[in-house]
């Protein structure tokens, strides 16, 4: 196993182990704040999974791109191999043609050799006949012209004997000359054929060398193609792994999305539940205050105690928001925060934004003073539910929201419903 293969195996094993971790189920949450925390965490996990899916998809795209490049190289190399094979086949055809020429020339050489042998046999027979005649003549003695004359019975016979003797001699000489000339011609033809054969064999040797070189080049191309095919196989395996990882991540992303949607539904239901409970509590508190104070609070806000209220509010900056909270330095909700700040000035307020709004003497925005209350009935942007804050001047408020006790603009949570002094 190569190093790259071992690394991929380790990655796959780790991913498999990671994927075995089940998507978390919503824990039982008592408040909407706790559900919102769970939802925020789930959304963070969903975002993380989305990033992982995107990264896995991009890695898969890169591998597929490289795989396509490798396939193009494999195809190009195959084209080279095919072209080289065509060259080899063409060269083989040339070699075969040369071999046919060599075979044909060899056949001509052999035929010529047979014809030379025939001429040699004829020459030998002629020479043998002449030799025999010369031997007979030698034994009988030389025949002179006088003997021919004396041996002739008539003038006609003399002419005939002289003509015959001359003709025999001329025929013998011509026969010998013809055989020698034919033999010379055949030997010359044979020499030419031998030269042609030698040249053809040289050409064939050169063609075979060229064919061997072409085969060597083809072998090299096939070796390169084999390496490319091996690379392609590795890339395909990696692409398959990455596709599997991406599919697993997408499955987990879908499960996480379902989990987020479930939390979101539970949160909305919890907020609605709390809103109704808060409205009921506010209604009961307002009824109690109306019965106790006849619609007004027991103490009015004065210039002397406004600063006390503001000083108390500033000491709680950064304290966490928890619904129902009324623990200085620890946690507050919006009405718990204003109730505690006013309590430091000796003023009792209900733990209810709606109830506190019932105690206000409304003022115009231009007439608001630091220490006045600002109330949103029916919800602030972007959530439902009533809300209350303390006006600190310069169109700013201090209040307890989801991020804790902070200072913000008068309209930082949308247009308010009513604002004024507690009376």
The residues annotated with a catalytic role in the active site are 334, 387, 399
DSSP at 398: E
- For 193-229, the DSSP string reads HHHHHHHHHHHHHHHHHHHHHHHHHHHHHHHHHHHHH
Taking alpha carbons only, the member of 219, 221, 400 closest to residue 313 is: 400
Backbone angles phi, psi at 420, to 5 degrees: 170, -170
Pairing of strands 331-332, 320-321: parallel
Give the end-to-end CA distance of the chain in Å, rounded to a whole number. 84
Look at residue 315 and give its three-state secondary structure.
Answer: coil
C-beta neighbour count of 14 within 10 angstroms: 10
388-401: b (≥16 Cβ within 10 Å) or e:
bbbbbeeeebbbbb
Answer positive or negative: Cα dihedral of 170, 173, 174, 175. Answer: positive
**Residue 320: strand pairing partners:** 331
Distance CA 86, CA 99 (A): 20
Asked if residues 374 and 397 have their Cβ atoms less than 8 Å apart, the reply is yes
- Distance, in Å, from the CA atom of 119 to the CA atom of 353, rounded to the nearest integer, reads 141
CB half-sphere exposure, 194, CA atoms < 13 A: 8
User: In this structure, how many other beta carbons lie within 10 angstroms of the beta carbon of residue 52?
Assistant: 19
Name the one residue in this structure whose structure tokens are 């002179």.
144
* Cα–Cα distance measured from residue 365 to residue 418, given in angstroms and rounded to the nearest whole number: 9
Mark out the alpha helices in 294-314 (DSSP H runs): 303-314
**Integer Cα distance of 6 and 26 in angstroms:** 38
Residues 6+ apart with CB under 8 A from 342: 301, 309, 348, 349, 422
How far apart CA 29 and CA 415 sit, in angstroms, is 31
């Amino acid at each position: 196993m190569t190093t790259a293969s071992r690394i991929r195996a380790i990655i796959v094993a780790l991913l498999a182990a990671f994927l075995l971790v089940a998507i978390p189920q919503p824990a039982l949450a008592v408040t909407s704040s706790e559900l919102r925390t769970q939802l925020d965490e789930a959304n963070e996990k969903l975002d993380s999974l989305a990033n992982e899916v995107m990264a896995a998809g991009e890695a898969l795209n890169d591998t597929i791109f490289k795989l396509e490049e490798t396939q193009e190289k494999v195809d190009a190399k195959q084209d080279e191999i095919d072209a080289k094979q065509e060259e080899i086949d063409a060269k083989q055809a040339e070699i075969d043609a040369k071999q046919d020429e060599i075979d044909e020339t060899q056949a001509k050489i052999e035929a010529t050799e047979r014809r030379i042998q025939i001429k040699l046999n004829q020459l030998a027979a002629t020479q043998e006949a002449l030799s025999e005649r010369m031997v007979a003549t030698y034994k009988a003695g030389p025949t002179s012209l006088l003997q021919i004359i004396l041996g002739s019975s008539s003038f006609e016979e003399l002419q005939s004997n002289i003509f015959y003797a001359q003709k025999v001699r001329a025929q013998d000489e011509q026969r010998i000359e013809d055989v020698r000339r034919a033999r010379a011609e055949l030997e010359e033809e044979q020499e030419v054929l031998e030269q042609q054969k030698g040249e053809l064999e040289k050409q064939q040797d050169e063609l075979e060398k060229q064919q061997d070189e072409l085969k060597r080049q083809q072998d090299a191309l096939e070796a390169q193609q084999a390496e490319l095919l091996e690379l392609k196989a590795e890339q395909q395996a990696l692409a398959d792994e990455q596709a599997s990882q991406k599919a697993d991540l997408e499955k987990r992303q879908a499960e996480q999305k379902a989990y987020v949607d479930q939390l979101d539904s539970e949160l909305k239901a919890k907020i609605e539940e709390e809103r109704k409970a808060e409205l009921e509590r506010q209604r009961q508190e307002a009824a109690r205050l109306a019965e106790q104070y006849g619609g007004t609070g027991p103490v009015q806000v004065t210039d002397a105690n406004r600063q006390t209220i503001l000083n108390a509010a500033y000491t709680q900056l950064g304290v966490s928001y928890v619904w129902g909270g009324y623990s200085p330095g620890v946690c507050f909700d919006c009405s718990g925060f204003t109730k505690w700040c006013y309590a430091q000035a000796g003023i009792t307020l209900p733990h209810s934004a709606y109830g506190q709004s019932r105690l206000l003497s409304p003022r115009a925005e231009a007439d608001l003073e630091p220490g006045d209350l600002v109330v949103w009935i029916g919800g602030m942007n972007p959530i439902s539910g009533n809300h209350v804050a303390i006006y600190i001047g310069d169109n700013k408020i201090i209040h307890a929201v989801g991020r804790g006790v902070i200072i913000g603009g008068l309209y930082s949570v949308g247009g308010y419903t009513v604002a004024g002094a507690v009376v």
